[in-house]
Amino acid sequence: INFIKSRPLQTRLFKILCEDTGSVHKALLLHTEVRWLSRVKVLVRLFELRSELGTFFMKNNMDLQERLTDKLWLFRLGYLA
């Protein structure tokens, strides 16, 4: 999430990808320590955008894409969300 949100170009590219795939959400949420409730919202959004994130990471040759194909990791993410 930080890789995408901290770089404006990556944020715009991810938004375009979400629009092209017809995703319900067009952006990721950024978690901050100030609001403890935002952690749940971030995890839910991450879980809902897992296929779009996988495509984005694959296009950018990032190792994080492997996490999104790991069933155990996805089960844990789903539980936390």
Structural domain boundaries in the chain: 1-25
- For 1-81, where are the alpha helices, taking DSSP H only? 2-5, 8-21, 38-48, 50-59, 71-80
What confidence tens digit (pLDDT) does each residue in 18-74 have?
888 888 777 777 655 556 667 788 888 888 888 888 888 888 877 777 888 888 988
Q: Which amino acid is at 43?
A: L
Task: Identify the pLDDT of residue 36.
Answer: 60
Which residues neighbour 50 within 8 Å (Cβ) at sequence distance 6 or greater?
Answer: 68, 74, 77
> pTM of the entire structure?
0.55
Task: Identify the pLDDT of residue 61.
Answer: 79
Task: Identify the pLDDT of residue 72.
Answer: 92
The closest alpha carbon to 1, from 76, 64, 77, 51, belongs to 64
Q: Which amino acid is at 9?
A: L
pLDDT greater than 80 at residue 79: yes
Task: Identify the pLDDT of residue 32.
Answer: 58
